[in-house]
Structure 1
Amino acid sequence: MPTLKAVIPRSTLAIPVVALIFYGFASVYGLNHASIASPVGLLLATALLPILIGTVFAAVHHAEVIALRIGEPYGTLVLTIAVTIIEVGLIVSVTSGGASLPALARDTVFSVIMIVGNGLVGLCILLGGFRYSEQGFRVSGANAYLVVLIVLATLTLILPNFIQARPGPFYSSSQLVFVALITLALYGGFLYIQTVRNRDYFLVLDTEGADASPYLPRNRAVTVSATILILSLGVVILLSKMFAAVVHIGTSLVDAPEAVVGVIVALLILSPESVAAVRAARRDQLQKSLNLALGSSLATISLTVPAVAALHLWLQRDLVLGLDGEDTVLLMLTAIVSLLTFGTGRTNILYGFVHLVIFAVFIFLVFVP
């Protein structure tokens, strides 16, 4: 029987506490354009990112412990809501931290799609292909992810450019409310299919060497995880203010495009699930890898867009959603290639390499638009 220490490693307990202490010290010192040039300020700015990433990993781990205990479909909701709180907190902090970035939500959502749909998926398929030549997965599950992702991406990132109510990449207030509700409805329908109606679409294939039966955490472990999860989410939101200041300073110093901030935020929130997805692919569990990768991107769009839309409506700010021309081409190319990649139920290194090429083009165009 696994002990509490085995279910909840000490590192996931210590990191949020260390992060809280770091926040207190950094708050007293203050991180701004002037202080960051000093040795202490530079040290604090350098330490901020790994501490923030560690806290995000801790939050996701404790959300997974709770999810394992309460089962589906509520377990999936706990995990997705935790990740959404982190993402929305980062977006709000960056946009309210002195930087005028009305398109940050759009850039972050688009970056999530490109990072997951090309970077992460391509890496998982490539690593699995090198190790096992070919890997299999359930076409029905992959198609379920793709059909919802393509519709959501089109409604939130492409359609705003062609709306007559307002010129530019915007929805009117009533349209934004409608799209937010439709987004939530689509995700609710997908969750019903994934966790209740057609769970077999997403189960690990018999040939993948399924994991051993998961240990069901006891109430004590769940209580500890719930406490640390709340602490971790709170600390992430606090640190995101400092993260916003450091990102603003860094991007202004190197004169980086605004879209770079969206990529940074997306990489930060996707890091825990990305590590788990790559590990699953290396263990010849491509179905599990796809569930983690595609599921994280679907949850990001489905919950982040309504949350950010509600915030912008409350603050009476414009929310830029429509993509530029080159990004629209990349999004459509990703959708077409993904349909081909996941159309047969088998993958090899060629598919992974093609997705990574598209990802490389995306990263290059972020810095050289």
Structure 2
Amino acid sequence: MSAHGPMPKSAWIFPAIAVLLFAAVTATGYGFAPSPGGLVFAAVLLVILFGTVFAAVHHAEVIAHEIGEPFGTLLLTLAVTIIEVALIETIMLGDIEVPALARDTVFAVIMIVCNGLVGVCIFIGGLRYREQDFQVTGANIYLSMLFILATITLILPNYTLTTPGPVYSSAQLVFVSVVTILLYGVFLYTQTIRHRDYFVGDTAGREADAQRLPARLLALSIALLLLSLLAVVLLAKKFSLVVDAVIAAVGAPGALAGVVIALLILLPESVAAVAAARHNDLQKSINLALGSSLATIGLTVPAVAVVAYLLNKRLVLGLNGQEVVLLMLTFILSMLTFGTGRTNILFGLVHMVVFAIFVFMVFVP
């Protein structure tokens, strides 16, 4: 979604409908139940929620373009993080105890981004252009950040001695959260100021001469961004009821909830990343894809940790053995894919196969 041109109708219609839906459900005291009427409500809710998330990301991108870097990137990241944390915390604080939801969501984001989205972008770009180029240095920075953040949040909890099992002690959780935020902050500084050229492709600057947005439209985007975020937070409880009911009805494992949340928050950036690959701008695709995964770990995990600590909730972070194997495979494959600066359809296909394995293992572990 571009920050330029007229505002799409969906950018204000979905947030407005979301607020009205919440008001109607609250006024009538409607409680979701797995019935024909409940299924219709679930379908409507998902459509409205997806549309509202798209609207929030659109307005965040509009504002980010106007305020410039690094504040633009930070604003967009914070908007997505608020949505993700709201969904995770609402489900975690529901009637059913889900201590591993944050872990499942973060792991799903990494698998979807680094295998599914990256694979599709590289494959589509390879079909249209045979080979595509990108900045190796920028990709290496993304990967080094992703490897360290994923390791200390998803693997290391399995091997600590202070507390048994896949959890951190309170002191460890505080330390890891602080380190995670610090690393992500330095990464943002590197990406947007210090070494911005590492993350810029050959097609950058095509929109450099775009006109500034009028003040009234900028103010409208700010208001609609706040309304969109509020709408997502308000509907998060109903969304959690739908997710719980669907998982129980189909007999799916609890990890499916994390996959659903990951798909919801990644969809807007995924659409933009695939479109960039189709227009021979793989660098933008990489920035959108890998940047989304870093934001999820760098900000979402600390935010969830704070809430879990304040509410005295158990937070399971360590992956099981099967998931660790998939994560390590993703790390190795990513190093090979982004190590040369050029891609082709085979790289994309291999990533998509790993993603297919991940999805299959969610249902048949």
Match of 2:166 in 1: 169
Partners of 1:173 and 1:124 in 2: how far apart?
40
Match of 1:200 in 2: 197
- Which deviates more, 43-52 or 105-114? 43-52
- Do the aligned partners of 1:259 and 1:366 also contact (CA within 8 Å) in 2? yes
Cα distance, 1:8 vs structure 2 = 2.1
Cα distance, 1:31 vs structure 2 = 4.6
- Do the aligned partners of 1:31 and 1:246 also contact (CA within 8 Å) in 2? no
Cα distance, 1:193 vs structure 2 = 0.6
Cα distance, 1:38 vs structure 2 = 4.7
Partners of 2:80 and 2:211 in 1: how far apart?
23
Identical positions, percent: 58
One-letter identity of the residue aligned with 2:322: E
Say yes or no: does 1:56 pair with 2:62.
no
Partners of 2:358 and 2:316 in 1: how far apart?
20
Partners of 2:229 and 2:250 in 1: how far apart?
30
Match of 2:363 in 1: 367
- Do the aligned partners of 2:53 and 2:228 also contact (CA within 8 Å) in 1? yes
Match of 1:320 in 2: 316
Q: Say which of 153, 156, 160 aligns to 1:156.
A: 153
Match of 1:145 in 2: 142
Partners of 1:68 and 1:315 in 2: how far apart?
37
Say yes or no: does 1:13 pair with 2:12.
yes
Q: Say which of 352, 355, 359 aligns to 2:351.
A: 355
What secondary structure, in the 3-state scheme, does the structure 2 residue paired with 1:18 have? Answer: helix
What secondary structure, in the 3-state scheme, does the structure 1 residue paired with 2:5 have? Answer: helix
Instruction: Calculate the TM-score normalised by the size of structure 1.
Output: 0.95
1:198/1:33 CA distance change after superposition, 3 Å: closer
Partners of 2:269 and 2:54 in 1: how far apart?
9
Partners of 2:204 and 2:89 in 1: how far apart?
42
What secondary structure, in the 3-state scheme, does the structure 2 residue paired with 1:6 have? Answer: coil
Instruction: Calculate the TM-score normalised by the size of structure 2.
Output: 0.96
Say yes or no: does 1:98 pair with 2:98.
no
Match of 1:28 in 2: 27
Partners of 2:36 and 2:284 in 1: how far apart?
46
Cα distance, 1:24 vs structure 2 = 1.9
1:218-266, CA deviations, whole angstroms, 9 ceiling, x for partnerless residues? 2212111110011100000111110000111111111110000000000
Partners of 1:138 and 1:154 in 2: how far apart?
24
1:77-130, CA deviations, whole angstroms, 9 ceiling, x for partnerless residues? 100000000000000111122121100000000000000000000000000000
1:12/1:50 CA distance change after superposition, 3 Å: same
- Do the aligned partners of 2:32 and 2:238 also contact (CA within 8 Å) in 1? no
Partners of 2:131 and 2:4 in 1: how far apart?
37
Partners of 1:337 and 1:215 in 2: how far apart?
41
Runs of 4+ in 1 over 4 A off after TM superposition: none
Cα distance, 1:159 vs structure 2 = 0.4
Q: Say which of 174, 180, 190 aligns to 2:177.
A: 180
- Which deviates more, 44-53 or 81-90? 44-53
What secondary structure, in the 3-state scheme, does the structure 1 residue paired with 2:313 have? Answer: coil
Say yes or no: does 1:89 pair with 2:86.
yes
One-letter identity of the residue aligned with 1:176: L
Partners of 2:107 and 2:4 in 1: how far apart?
38
Q: Say which of 255, 272, 276 aligns to 1:280.
A: 276
Cα distance, 1:61 vs structure 2 = 0.4
- Do the aligned partners of 1:209 and 1:284 also contact (CA within 8 Å) in 2? no
- Which deviates more, 218-227 or 46-55? 218-227
What secondary structure, in the 3-state scheme, does the structure 1 residue paired with 2:154 have? Answer: helix
Q: Say which of 217, 221, 225 aligns to 1:225.
A: 221
- Do the aligned partners of 1:116 and 1:294 also contact (CA within 8 Å) in 2? yes
Partners of 1:96 and 1:238 in 2: how far apart?
14
One-letter identity of the residue aligned with 1:153: A
Structure 1 residues without counterparts, runs of 5 or longer: none
- Do the aligned partners of 2:113 and 2:289 also contact (CA within 8 Å) in 1? yes
Cα distance, 1:45 vs structure 2 = 1.5
Partners of 1:351 and 1:135 in 2: how far apart?
11
Say yes or no: does 1:296 pair with 2:292.
yes
Q: Say which of 220, 243, 256 aligns to 2:252.
A: 256
- Do the aligned partners of 1:32 and 1:246 also contact (CA within 8 Å) in 2? no
Structure 2 residues without counterparts, runs of 5 or longer: none
- Which deviates more, 13-22 or 180-189? 13-22
| Root-mean-square deviation over aligned CA pairs | 1.5
- Do the aligned partners of 1:111 and 1:266 also contact (CA within 8 Å) in 2? yes
Partners of 1:340 and 1:217 in 2: how far apart?
42
Match of 2:68 in 1: 71
One-letter identity of the residue aligned with 2:35: A
